Chains A and B, each alone.
Chain A
């Protein structure tokens, strides 16, 4: 990659435009030098798509929580970009236990300490967790 080929396609979503990464490119004498890049179209597209996938899944889950099919844990898990295995590690539980907690009937009976654990991982209050979707 030559210095004049370093892409400058602004990463204009979710604050991405604030970061100009350093990349190495070849100058006109064939010498490598560091150049700042605003972003690259191909990369921006892939990143934006990953975020779109998050948003789509989140909207689906929100509807399911509101319809009483899933507990708010399912929503906040996705909002925190986690999957069951990762969330289970954060709350010191097995994956199947987290799955159970996603059932509204089980969620309603969860004790305060467990709710506090989830809320802490999601960086919200227990009230926010309980009232979501209501």
Chain B
């Protein structure tokens, strides 16, 4: 039996939530979820039409799994361990060993194999983060940031979740904090996180990533009525909404989370320009919500109305232009 005195807190996004919970356990309560998300440069957009997920084109509103934890601990000079494993047996043995040493461990998992989640959410989504903080009578204590309370899971279920197949494959990915320095420099980390996020959104020369991908999706949506059956068009739209809203609070949610980060950063660094940018991003987040709302209405109408798909495209172009301007302003901040 191993038990860690771990405090579970609910958060908006799994990875920034896990990062904040793990840091709080080490006494770094000042790193809130929004700060973890911002320092970890968690905001992103990608639309990859040829990467089909359950038959619909893949979109994401977040950065690559594992990158938030990595960037936050890197920027703050925190010593961590990250490991992938060749077999479930080795991965579970390594987890038990870490728990016995009194460390909570973060892991990547597939939502599909987590029985404590309601069925409504359980699709094959392999980039979900959670923390195991104890093992009692053969059952693991789990802190899953999307839940209000801590949960439990059987070893065989956790092993399945850690070794789910598909895109991406977690391969048992496990991470924990080894040592925390006496002093952490939040300001430098915030500055680095902002620069990194602006770079990620603005610079990729490929059409599938960052701001470019918003315009790409706008172009694609306009063609849905010509290229797809009404049923397919409906499912494609539905998938965008689900990636935006449901899975880890999605596009609009992430914009609000990043705006919360900018607000906290503006107080910490005594900079009004960051607070102004937070207000702008809140308004962009509202526009994303409006887009999702209109897309859902279009789905309900069950017809491939050219005008409406064009309108959805226009909304995305407007969002893309505003985000481009927003990230350029972020990029040009003088420090």
Contact-residue size bin, chain B (C-beta under 8 Å from the other chain): 35 or more
* A49 near B119: Cβ-Cβ < 8 Å: no
Is A41 in contact with B146, judged by CB distance below 8 angstroms? no
Q: How far is the CB of B275 from chain A (nearest CB, A)?
A: 9
Find chain A residues with CB under 8 A from B120 CB. Answer: 11, 13-16, 19, 47, 51
Residues of chain B contacted by A23 (CB below 8 angstroms) = 12, 249, 253, 256
Interface string of B253-265 (1 = CB under 8 A from A): 1001101100110
The reply to whether A1 and B289 contact each other, CB–CB distance below 8 Å, is: yes
Contact with A along B280-306 (1 / 0, CB 8 A): 001001100100110111011000000
For residues 9 through 26 of chain A, which have their beta carbon under 8 Å from a beta carbon of chain B? 11, 13-26
Binds A, one of B201-209, B220-228, B236-244: B236-244
Given contacts A46-B246, A47-B246, A81-B123, contact A18 B118 (CB under 8 A): yes
Chain B residues lying within 8 Å of A132, measured Cβ to Cβ, are none
Asked if A55 lies at the interface with its beta carbon under 8 angstroms from chain B, I say no
Structural contact, B12 and A34, CB atoms closer than 8 A? yes
- The chain B residue sitting closest to A88, CB to CB, is B165
Would you call A19 and B118 a contact (CB within 8 A)? yes
In the bound complex, how far is the Cα of B286 from the Cα of A1, in angstroms?
6
Number of interchain pairs (Cβ within 8 Å): 117
- CB-based contact A24/B292 at 8 Å: no
| A43 contacts B242, C-beta separation under 8 Å | yes
Q: Is the CB of A42 within 8 A of B118?
A: no
Given A18-B118, A21-B249, A86-B165, check contact A42 B55 (CB 8 Å): no
Size bin of chain A's contact surface: 35 or more
CA distance A43 to B293 in the complex (A): 8
B197-221 interface bits toward A, Cβ cutoff 8 Å, 1 = contact, 0 = none: 0000000000000000000000000
Measured CB to CB, the nearest residue on chain B to A32 is: B260
Check A110 for interface membership: any CB of B closer than 8 A.
no
> Are B246 and A43 neighbours in the complex by a CB distance under 8 Å?
yes
A24 B166 Cβ-Cβ under 8 A:
no
Residues of A near any B CB (own CB < 8 A): 1, 11, 13-26, 30-32, 34, 36, 40-43, 45-47, 49-51, 53, 81-83, 86, 89-90
- 10 residue pairs, one from A and one from B, having the closest CB atoms: A16-B120, A15-B118, A42-B296, A32-B260, A14-B120, A89-B165, A46-B241, A14-B119, A43-B245, A46-B238
Known: A23-B256, A42-B293, A43-B241. 14 other contacts (CB 8 A): A1-B289, A14-B120, A15-B118, A16-B118, A16-B120, A22-B12, A22-B146, A32-B34, A32-B278, A42-B296, A43-B242, A46-B238, A46-B296, A83-B55
